Structure 1
């Protein structure tokens, strides 16, 4: 008889590996930013959105909210600090107007996470109650993370160029959505299935756009981001 628990653990480990690759996929982008000492036309939106998403999923995976979700905590805890590092690089090489935006959003995210933890630990006294509150919040922010590249996708369609939509990030988003959807289906968890199912579609759309506009991309030209 198939042990779904063991299979789920294996899928979760694979999910951690793919999520690790997702978090590391922007490295070439940030090397380019570091070398040019400019963020160019790259956008910080996906990285800022992912900070809050990882923070919420780290809370969701804690034993005081859900059971048997250690693999959710480990990868999202890693992602939380890595995305902060990415945002810091954006901050260093951005103009002041963009720096101010990054600071305000980041501080707002930290305050939000602190408030959520305070409220659920103070007013909710069982893991089941906390899950019902934290789960829907996680769905919202996970969807925001997957759709943060919408601004980039719009730019791709307008300019017919994929220069500022990194392929590795798009592919990793797609694979990440697929594996975590599978993980949640093995032990039904709608709070993981819903956002990652949507993430699968979002990643697929990005890959389709990449295939459509790769040939028309002029890699040596600067593109107006307006």
Structure 2
């Protein structure tokens, strides 16, 4: 089998993205072992589940097998994470329930809208626009921690490894979108590259002040 540039980029993006999904196992293992989700947020898992579901639908509309494969894997993994998190939350607070309900309601609203309320010829564009906008919001969300980093002049609460991985994933999907001439994939990942580059620059200007003795494990976020 002869592999061209498209096949190589598709394979690398798929493997990297699946590994990123699996990185959440670190937190889920701790939650399951302790029997409690205290100290962790369900938001990253639910957001990733919703995003994966929407992009799976986009893959179906655009007949893109790679998008379907990668994001369906994300749906299964992130759905599992969310279920484990919820089952190990002893006190089901309204905030937790509202967070999950609101995001799932948004997801189903988008799926119903593009299925029943949009001309089939326009469904791909409408759905792609929503997916891209949702991705941009997700990429921009971690930047809220930048203000804390700049104020404290330390990146001790940021994960360098995850920042690098996010940068690589954004770069890979940008090239994937470029090779397929798909702006809905290319544009959000262009911004993702910029956001991740900014976050990585913080490690240069504000190195961590933690010593080896007081260093805490980095929390995996999505």
Normalising by structure 1, report the TM-score.
Answer: 0.77
Who is 1:115 aligned against? 109
2:142 pairs with 1:152: no
- Rate the CA distance shift 1:82–1:71 in 2: closer, same or farther, 3 A: same
Structure 1 residue aligned with 2:125, among 132, 143, 147?
132
Once the 2 structures are TM-superposed, how far is the Cα of residue 56 of structure 1 from its aligned partner? 1.2
Say which of 75, 84, 93 aligns to 1:80: 75
For residue 104 of structure 1, the aligned residue among 98, 106, 116 is 98
Q: Does 1:193 align with 2:186?
A: yes
Alignment root-mean-square deviation, CA: 3.1
Question: What do residues 135-158 of structure 1 show as CA deviations (whole Å, max 9, x unaligned)?
Answer: 110011111221222233333333
Cα separation, 2, equivalents of 1:50 and 1:144: 12
5+ unaligned residues in a row in structure 1: which ranges? none
Q: 2:65 matched to which residue of 1? A: 70
Deviation at 1:87, TM superposition (A): 3.8
The answer to which of 129-138 and 203-212 deviates more is: 203-212
Map 1:12-23; keep pairs closer than 5 Å.
12-23=10-21
User: Contact (CA 8 Å) 2:140, 2:195: kept in 1 or not?
Assistant: yes
The structure 2 residue matched to 1:52, chosen from 50, 53, 58, is: 50
From the superposition, tell whether residues 95 and 88 of structure 1 become closer, same or farther in structure 2 (CA, over 3 Å): same
Residue 163 of structure 2 contacts residue 199 of structure 2 at CA under 8 Å; is this kept in 1? yes
- CA 122–16 in structure 1, closer or farther in 2 if over 3 Å, else same: same
Counterparts of 1:23-62 in structure 2, within 5 Å, are: 23-31=21-29, 39-40=38-39, 43-62=41-60
Contact 1:52 1:141 in 2 (8 A): no
Q: Does 1:207 align with 2:205?
A: no
Residue by residue over 1:32-51, the C-alpha shift from the partner in whole angstroms, topping out at 9 and shown as x without a partner, is 566675654x6554433322
Per-residue displacement from partner, 1:29-80 (whole Å, max 9, x unpaired)? Answer: 555566675654x655443332222121111001xx213x111111112222
Aligned length: 213
Distance 1:114 1:33, change over 3 A: closer
TM-score normalised by the chain length of structure 2: 0.78
Structure 2: state its 5+ residue gaps. 217-222
Evaluate the alpha carbon distance shift between residue 189 and residue 221 of structure 1 in structure 2; reply closer, same or farther with a 3 A threshold: closer
